[in-house]
Chain A
Amino acid sequence: MTDPIAPNLIDPAGHQLIGGRHKQSDRIVFPFPSGPEAAEYEKLPLAGEGTLWSFTVQRFRPKSPPYAGADDERSFKPFALGYVELPGQIIVETRIKIDDFARLKIGMRMELAAIPFARATGDAPLTYAFRPAA
């Protein structure tokens, strides 16, 4: 079993993102807050399906730090990312698992897909992504 990249981000099985619901106002947030505000929120499992709200493709390797990928300038492979609207909950920013970037279209149905993220430190913790729904 791979550990998630951060606590309170995704359930260890990789089936759900963990959001927060403000106990007083019902306002939904993601990621789940850390620090003193955490006490004001209860955990809220987020929907595993939604629609693509916007997207782009990261064509160059981001600077390290903060980027911690195990790749280098030569081995870096462009990846898609975007925002997925989880109906009635929140719009989350996410990496997108897709081979053909030309298929990306605002409004398309997406589903959660946890992926290992290979870090330069040698480990590969679990992070979240979305992919076009089957």
Chain B
Amino acid sequence: MSDVHIIGAGIHPFGRHDDKSGLDQGVIAVREALADAGIEWKDIHFAFGGSSAAGNADAMLPRLGLTGVQFINVANGCATGGSALLSGYWAIKSGEFDLGVVLGFDKHPRGAFNPDPEAWGLPKWYGETGMMLTTQFFAMKIQRYMALHGITPMTLARVAEKAFENGVKAPHSWRKQPVDAETILNSQMVSDPLTKFMFCSPAEGGAALILASDKKMRELGLAGPRIRGAAVRTRVNGSFEVFSPSLEVKRGPSPTEIASKVAYEMAGVGPQDIDVAQIQDTESGAEIMHMAENGLCKDGEQEKLIADGATRVGGKLPINTDGGCLACGEPIGASGLRQVYENVQQLRGRGGARQVENPKVAYSQVYGAPGLSAVAILGA
């Protein structure tokens, strides 16, 4: 059993890039991660990577070098990046390998996703009658949460305002314009109670991380944050998930709550130890609910925490310091690794204008269809 460290991190800026394929953006991210670690592709023992809509990751092999490296394509929906990270983590932790890369990239058409019901094991009428939209799920989840826990629309707006404020300061973000809470609140209603500026958009981008065993890291004379805990969990009976024609009356925990508990336990830390967090903010409400599902606060406390600025850079619990999905957009295969990339930057003190003061433990959580969550905790 070896400790696993992240010794290099690379990213291709998120957003819209008409001149580049998704794969191009993945290759660029990998090259940047290799350069960051000061190693070469031929040094790499393994790769895990994937995209949701931009092709096979191993198609980058001729461009990076046909070294015979074992390269495993990962396809796990919204947790593709998180699953690649977890696979790389296991490969090194098991003692089988010492140095590898995990990567994700994507490129989606504009507008909301249009899934095929049958590919999700759902009846055709569910999609035909207009009930199969991820936006509806998020709207209905936060609608109920607001009623139960006293969250107001202004708090939804403040989450998005903070995201754009952080996005301005992150070189890899897509949205570079601040937008004030009033404008967000009064923008076009998309799916009540969520307005246009409260939703992230499908986008493009790539992210890559170089993982190394403790021994290999020392041998190379490098340093980097340690992966203290990592877990992917799927839905259980009674959780409320995207694309659910029905729910059980007896309610149960979310996959995020389950993955979060496991990761904290592995890491030997608790929510009170987290200095900076990147959590899934598909829309404003998701960030609010995920704060509680990840144990970072109790249900309902978000209203005051957010009004007080606790989740801004400089607050007591900075969240989504690069603007999250709201400011970066969501290229599915790359999104989870972007969160980890941002945490690596924060822990290494490379956050520039968005740098959190001296963070020691960093948390990330990605959530996606059809009900899965991936958590990673980094630290010294």
Contact = CB atoms under 8 A, between A and B. Distances in A.
A56 B139 contact: yes
Given A55-B140, A106-B147, A91 B247 contact: yes
A63 B111 contact: yes
B189 A57 contact: yes
Contacts of A29: 246
B116 A65 contact: yes
Nearest to B118: A66
Contacts of B271: none
B249 A93 contact: no
A9 interface: yes
B119 to A, nearest CB: 10
Given A53-B144, A54-B144, A67-B127, A93 B246 contact: yes
Contact of B114 (A19, A62, A81, A89): A62
A58 B248 contact: no
B127 to A, nearest CB: 3
Contacts of B133: 58, 62
Contact of B191 (A19, A34, A58, A68): A58
A118 B59 CA distance: 44
Given A57-B191, A92-B245, A66 B127 contact: yes
Contacts of A31: 123, 245-246
B140 A56 contact: yes
Interface string B223-262: 0000000000000000000001111110000000000000
Given A56-B192, A69-B129, 9 more contacts: A27-B248, A55-B143, A56-B136, A57-B191, A59-B192, A66-B132, A81-B140, A93-B131, A95-B129
B324 to A, nearest CB: 22
A9 B244 CA distance: 15
Contacts of A111: none
A63 B246 contact: no
B249 A62 contact: no
A62 B143 contact: no
Contacts of B115: 66
Given A56-B192, A59-B191, A60-B190, A66 B246 contact: no
B145 to A, nearest CB: 9
B316 interface: no
A44 interface: no
Contacts of A5: 125, 128-129
Interface residues on A, range: 35 or more
Interface in A59-97: 59-60, 62-69, 79, 81-83, 85, 87-93, 95
Contact of B130 (A53, A79, A83, A92): A79
A91 B245 contact: no
A81 B128 contact: no
A118 to B, nearest CB: 11
A62 B189 contact: no
B125 A6 contact: yes
B194 to A, nearest CB: 8
26 contacts: A5-B125, A5-B129, A6-B124, A27-B248, A29-B246, A30-B245, A30-B246, A56-B139, A56-B191, A59-B189, A59-B191, A59-B192, A63-B111, A65-B116, A66-B116, A66-B126, A67-B114, A67-B128, A68-B128, A69-B129, A79-B130, A89-B249, A90-B248, A91-B249, A93-B246, A101-B192
Interface in B140-158: 140-141, 143-144, 147
A119 interface: yes
B112 interface: yes
A53 B148 CA distance: 11
A99 B191 CA distance: 16
Contacts of A30: 245-246
Contacts of B139: 56
A127 interface: yes
A39 to B, nearest CB: 17
